[in-house]
Structure 1
Amino acid sequence: MNIRVVSAITVLCLVWGSLWGLIKFSLHIFPPFQFISVRLIIAALTLLIVQRLLNRSILPEKGDWGKLLISSLMLCVGFYATQTFAMQFVDSGLSAVLVFTMPIFIGVLAHYILKERLNAQKIVGLFFGVLGLVSILWTQLHDIHMNLTLLGELGLIFVGFMWAATTIYIKKNFATYDKVKLTIWQMLIGGIIILFGALLVEPIDLHIWMNPWNDSILFYVSIIGTGAAFALWNWIVTQVDTFVASISIMSIPILSLFFGYVFWDEPLTLNIMIGAVFICIGIILSSFKLKTKQKVQTISLDHQH
């Protein structure tokens, strides 16, 4: 890899690694579902401008709308909206680790849906991933009772599953589709749907939305952390092997734990660190030597925030 690619990967990891803490912070400022809907809409409009500047097609074909609606609901409701709800009760770094179980779920789903064989290597990776989850949830498993923290953690594991399920759906239905155009309409459709729901259950406080400091955070998360970062990721995967690109950003959940501990005073307990290591080992084992089959990860990681 040349210096430009290495620099791009470094910037992307720092942006996405630090983004989880900012999202958690934003949930203390904005109504959560209004925040995620506006974020998705701004990110979609940012990518739409990029697509237009590149003189690429923007409007989907007539037959694409049904599949776009399904994938948008899976991504924006199953992933983004659920993530937003769950992160209200879980620290940002731990949230990233739990959501990044996605590649492990992909191994199982791809085996049954895409007929991509679940070999011994993937099974070992899945085993390490489960060990990681058990380690992270160990204190709650000692005395199981439903509370908001456990509900949030289970919700984030479900988010990882939905991320994987959305990826499989995209792999089956949008394999040759323009991924920027796909993401524009996924985020725009989903953002508008969530916004309508948010306006029914969350009051609008104009003081929050008219505050310059709040708006700067919102625009950073939306434009830099979602729209621009996605465009950068798309460029990276055109420059290097898909496998190399995917593994190179596996530092994101670890960086999220670090940033959460340093900047947001989030606890970094031994069981969380052990769990994070196990999950990363599981992800790497699940991905190793799957350069052609794991192109599915390219699509999925486009939608991580």
Structure 2
Amino acid sequence: MFQQNAFVTFLHKNRWALWLLILLVILLWGYAWVFMKLSLNYMGPFTFSAFRFGVGAVTMLLVIWLSRTGLPPRHQWKHFIVVGILQTTIVYLLIMYGLRFVDAGKSSVLLYSMPMWSSLFAARFLGEKLTPAKLTGLLTGLVGLLTILGWDIWTNQSMDILTGELLIIVGAISWGIANVYYRRNLRDASQLQVNTWQMTFGAIGIIIAAFVTESGEPLVLNVTSISYILFTGVLASALCFTAWFVVLSLIDMVTATISTLLVPVFGLFFSSIILGEHLSTGILIGSGLIIIGIIIAQTSKSRRT
């Protein structure tokens, strides 16, 4: 615990190190989309997610054990289960299935429309006011989504791709619901415990889904596929989320949320360079509108604060 507090103090005193940590987390999250897409060459989408979050959950449980954090109060367990199902099980089952048909870069943009859905649900269930600036940002982001989807429709895109895109958007909506549920029921809980236990329960749901639907499908475990699992499970899931919770304790939520908009930007960049994915005009325009819309909504919140 002393080393952890010393690290937080170091980041607090050295802002360059804090922003370097933020950039590292965003880069790892952006690059993870490449491995998520490539993993489908070795196993089914649910099987990969089961390995990824199984490894991530074990890593987080080790962190909890080594830090002597202890168990959370009994009344919080049901909330961990709900958040785990919404934020890990549903989101990543839909994402990985959608990735079978949708490019990795486009998928990252669609998923990170999540702040728009969070704002809508927060206005409905948390009583947060939907200001004109916030509404403008949300509408701009929705136009961006329709631009990405609409462009595909007008270019005679296959039904599989459109279905995959819609599944990823539903995943983003589920993530937004999870955020609102977390704020209503687990806002005062330890963020380390929230991440550990929601990931654990979410991984259990994914493992069950993988066993039921993909138990007989081919599975190739070699150095390459295992490296994908370890990168996304240990680095992109367990360690990055833990580091992100440290970041959230040192900077305001608005700045953090806007920073995450770089994830789909890097996702598009890495997917284009490494996977050779084509960045169409519709994807670029739609991505830009989504990012602009979220910035408008979040910046208006920053001014009020």
TM-score above 0.5: yes
| Aligned partner (choices 35, 43, 50) of residue 37 of structure 1 | 50
Q: Aligned to 2:150, which of 138, 141, 166?
A: 138
2:235 corresponds to 1:224:
yes
1:9 aligned residue (2, 6, 22): 22
1:233-248 to structure 2, matched below 5 A, reads: 233-248=244-259
Distance in 1, matches of 2:51 and 2:31, equals 20
Instruction: Find out whether 1:25 has 2:38 as its counterpart.
Output: yes
Q: Is the 8 A contact 2:134 2:300 kept in 1?
A: no
State how far apart, in whole Å, the 1-side matches of 2:75 and 2:100 are.
38
Equivalent of 2:199 in 162, 173, 187: 187
- Counterpart of 1:300? none
Q: Determine if contact 2:56/2:234 at 8 Å carries over to the other structure.
A: yes
For residues 22 and 72 of structure 1, do their structure 2 counterparts lie closer, same or farther at Cα, with a shift above 3 Å needed?
Answer: same
SS at 1:109's partner residue?
helix
- The 8 Å contact of residues 110 and 116 in structure 1, kept in 2 or not, is answered as yes
Report the TM-score, using the length of structure 2 for normalisation. Answer: 0.89
RMSD (CA atoms): 2.1
Taking structure 1 as reference, are residues 173 and 146 closer, same or farther at Cα in structure 2, changes over 3 Å only? farther
Contact 1:20 1:92 in 2 (8 A): yes
Q: 1:272 aligns with which of 260, 264, 283?
A: 283
- Counterpart for residue 106 of structure 2: 94
Mapped to 2, the partners of 1:293 and 1:153 lie a distance apart of 34
Tell me the residue number matched to 1:301. none
Tell me whether 1:208 sits opposite 2:220 in the alignment.
Answer: yes
Change (3 A) 1:207 1:94: closer
CA shift at 1:235, angstroms?
1.6
The answer as to whether partners of 1:116 and 1:293 remain within 8 angstroms in 2 is no
More displaced 10-residue stretch of structure 1: 69-78 or 258-267 = 69-78
Alpha-carbon distance between aligned partners in 2 of 1:275 and 1:286, rounded to the nearest angstrom:
17
Q: Which whole-Å CA distance do the structure 2 matches of 1:101 and 1:205 have between them? A: 32
For 1:17 and 1:206, how far apart are their aligned partners in 2?
Answer: 27
Farther-moved stretch of structure 1 (262-271 vs 38-47): 38-47
Question: SS where residue 208 of structure 1 aligns?
Answer: coil
Amino acid aligned to 2:299: F
Give a deviation string over 1:132-186, Cα, whole Å, max 9, x none.
Answer: 1121112333378871100011111111111101100111010101122112111
What count of residue pairs does the alignment treat as equivalent? 292
Give 1:290 deviation, angstroms. Answer: 2.2
Q: Where in structure 2 are there 5+ consecutive unaligned residues?
A: 1-13
Partner SS, residue 72 of structure 2: coil
Q: 1:178 to 1:204 in 2, by over 3 A?
A: farther
The 8 Å contact of residues 82 and 159 in structure 1, kept in 2 or not, is answered as: yes
1:286 matched to 2:297: yes
CA gap 1:207/1:100 in 2 versus in 1, 3 angstroms: closer
Deviation at residue 293 of structure 1 after TM alignment: 9.1
* Alignment pair present for 1:116 and 2:128: yes
Is the alpha carbon distance of 1:292 and 1:199 closer, same or farther for their aligned partners in structure 2, counting shifts above 3 Å? farther
Runs of 5+ in structure 1 lacking a partner? 295-305
1:11 alignment partner, SS class: helix
- What CA distance in whole angstroms lies between the structure 1 residues aligned with 2:236 and 2:289? 27
Tell me which of 85, 93, 118 is aligned to 1:81.
93
Q: Structure 1 length as normaliser, TM-score? A: 0.89
For the structure 1 residues 10 and 76, does the alpha-carbon distance in structure 2 shift closer, same or farther, using more than 3 Å as the test? closer
